[in-house]
Structure 1
Amino acid sequence: APPLRVCLLGTHGAGKTTCARQIADKLGIFHIQFEEYLQELILPKTKEKIGPDYDEEPEEDNSRMPILSQELDDFSQIMTNAETEKSKQEVELTDEEEAIKANLMDNEALPPEVLDNIVLDWWKKEPFRSTGFILDGFPRNLHEAQYLSERGLCPDVAVDIQVEESDILDRLFPPRLKKWKERQYKRMENKKKLKDLKAKLRV
């Protein structure tokens, strides 16, 4: 049988990746999670995943720690983080990497030449060409669908997963709530450290 090329579509939180992994394992084809692949392309320079799903609220209490807080156990870690952040800002991204970053951060459209460097290999080169793949989360919009059409890159099957909005909320809300609680706990811990530091300085 010829290799199977599948595009799996659906809104964020619909369960595409879970389904794609199961299908890929069942059929013995590659599973490609598109946005995760974009993250991996720039991760060596960004050092961390970027985008709305990975943004965190700033740690206000850390920024208020005075220099005299060297007595605190985590002061050296704060300084290390600051140096790391500075080094991140100094790393220059290529035009292609900047386009990928803008897409992940602000949903800016990827130029055709950038898509060429990413997508064409899955149709044209080994081992994808002879094995087949399930492309999870691509195309994401009309622009990307038109790109596939213009390049003659037609999947054998396109599946659009549709789920109720309430099901998506049930899937996404609990982990986001857990993450929020962890941030709140960390914030309270920092407030306690700051209070203890002020008490030491008054002695």
Structure 2
Amino acid sequence: MLKVVFLGPPGAGKGTQAVRIAEKYNVPHISTGDILRAAVKEGTELGKLAKEYMDKGELVPDDVIIGIIRERLSQSDVRERGFILDGFPRTLPQAEALDKMLAELGLPLDKVVYLNVDDEEIVKRLLARGRADDTEEVIRNRLEVYRKQTAPLIDYYSEKGILVEICGVGEIDEITKKIEESLGLNG
């Protein structure tokens, strides 16, 4: 059973790598964005609450996100096979809530995979995607938000002794191989 969080700046390749590892090892891939959309579509109480914020273009508050994550982590596939979290936690309060939740569920984290990619590479990658909202100014602002809100999680998980840092620059297959090795998987 694999219980892993993927951490890193926007454009570091978290989603790509999380999906690859999840598919190869048959572990549920839990993306915050996917879960929010699914909860809204299914019309769950938390989904309805999240939709109110999303419809106004506002960030969904921590308590709603944490509740939705708790619902997902309580499902049988996660209890049987573990999980790969992608996009959560993003802040120290979310990380602390996740620790508490996982302790209650008896599913402590194995590792946190931190994909380290420097800012200039991130800007280059995100500009190359060609999305209308990916201007250099917007990308640099997202990196600043990441540095303020999410980067402190690197120290938080490092102090717990479960952080593995992987250089997120290079061939996708090579990065996947480094992640597998860091997780003790037989690629």
> Common fold, TM-score beyond 0.5?
yes
Over 3 Å counting, the alpha-carbon distance change for 1:127 and 1:150 in structure 2 is closer
What does residue range 9-158 of structure 1 map to in structure 2 within 5 Å? 9-42=7-40, 94-99=48-53, 101=54, 105-111=57-63, 115-116=66-67, 118-151=68-101, 152=103, 154-158=108-112
Query: C-alpha separation between the residues in 1 aligned to 2:97 and 2:12?
Result: 24
Aligned-partner residue type, residue 98 of structure 1? E
Query: C-alpha separation between the residues in 2 aligned to 1:94 and 1:107?
Result: 14
Stretches of structure 2 that go unaligned for 5 or more consecutive residues are 134-187
Q: Does 1:162 find its partner at 2:116?
A: yes
- TM-score normalized by the length of structure 2: 0.56
Query: C-alpha separation between the residues in 1 aligned to 2:100 and 2:42?
Result: 32
Stretches of structure 1 that go unaligned for 5 or more consecutive residues are 46-92, 181-203
How far residue 174 of structure 1 moved from its aligned partner, in angstroms, is 2.2
Query: C-alpha separation between the residues in 2 aligned to 1:160 and 1:106?
Result: 27
Alpha-carbon contact 1:109-1:143 (below 8 Å) kept: no
- State the match for 1:176 in structure 2: 130
- State the match for 1:198 in structure 2: none
Aligned-partner residue type, residue 9 of structure 2? T
Query: C-alpha separation between the residues in 2 aligned to 1:29 and 1:146?
Result: 23
Which 4+ residue blocks in structure 1 deviate beyond 4 angstroms?
A: none
Size of the aligned set, in residue pairs, is: 126
Query: C-alpha separation between the residues in 2 aligned to 1:162 and 1:107?
Result: 25
- TM-score normalized by the length of structure 1: 0.53
Aligned-partner residue type, residue 66 of structure 2? L
Query: C-alpha separation between the residues in 2 aligned to 1:122 and 1:44?
Result: 13
**More RCO (CA 8 Å, sep 6+):** 1
Query: C-alpha separation between the residues in 2 aligned to 1:124 and 1:41?
Result: 14
